Amino acid sequence: MAVRSLQANKYYWKVVIPQSRNALIDAGWEREIVATNLQVHEFWKGVLNIESTSSLNSLEFTNFIEDIKRICAVYLHYYIND
C-alpha cells in the first residue's frame, strides 16, 4: 500500500480544508463549529466515517478528498479548486 504523498497532504490542508470551510459557512453552518482547520478536518472525518486519515493509503486518501469535493459541489454548490 502506497502512503499518501506530502503533496496530497499539503493540498488537503491548504486547499480542501479552507475551501470546504468556506462552503460550510456559505451554506449556513455556524462559524464556531468550523472555526479552525482542525474542526473542519474532524467534521469531514465524522461525515465520511473515517477514524484516522493517517492510516489511509494513497488511493483511500484521494477518495476521501474527492468525496469532500463532491459533497461540496453537489450539496453546497461550492467547487473546490484542483
Specify the pTM.
0.92
Q: In which band, very low, low, confident or very high, does the pLDDT at 64 lie, cut at 50, 70 and 90?
A: very high
For position 31, what pLDDT does the model report? 85
Question: How many whole angstroms separate alpha carbon 62 and alpha carbon 77?
Answer: 21
Domain ranges of the chain: 6-76
For position 1, what pLDDT does the model report? 58
Q: Find cell 474532524 and name the residue.
A: 42
pLDDT tens digits for 24-62?
999 998 888 899 999 999 999 999 999 999 889 999 999
Rg (CA), the chain: 12
Query: Percent of the chain beyond pLDDT 70?
Result: 99
For position 30, what pLDDT does the model report? 87
Question: How many whole angstroms separate alpha carbon 67 and alpha carbon 7?
Answer: 18
